[in-house]
Amino acid sequence: MIEDDVPKYPNRHVFRLMSNQVFMGYYVISKTFGCQIGGCSGEIASHQLGGTYEEFYYGVILDKEIKIKKIDILDYPSDYGFEICAKSWLKQFNQKYACNELSDFDGISGATVSANALQSDLIDLCWLLSDK
């Protein structure tokens, strides 16, 4: 059973995962920023200043200790940086605690900005859920 009574956060939809009235974890759909064709430069937040960033969406299942169970890229509209959509690359995040075990991940050629954006967003998400 999924309940959507978790407070809403900017660029995120957070759902509690319940089974027989027992809290099991979270399912989160988040929006973060990757690159457009032609590349990108500068900080991730420069999209607000007319930078070359494009939104992408991912879904993540977290257990109640905020350990990552599975990540999927749900919508990646750009042709640049799409390498982060590879399930084999995303598997490296499984079974990691989002707050403190994501600093050492394998990068991926052609998707450095998108990979860093995903990592940073997962860490932010963890801290948001930890403070709940």
pLDDT for the residue numbered 1:
42
pLDDT for the residue numbered 62:
93
pLDDT for the residue numbered 90:
92
pLDDT for the residue numbered 61:
95
Sign for the CA dihedral angle at 33, 38, 39, 44 comes to negative
| Rounded mean pLDDT for each run of 10 residues along the chain, 132 residues in total | 58 89 92 68 47 82 92 89 88 82 71 82 84 61
pTM flag (> 0.85): no
Please give the single-letter amino acid code of residue 92: Q
With beta carbons less than 8 A apart as the criterion, state whether 13 and 29 touch: yes
Q: Facing residues of 68 across strands?
A: 62
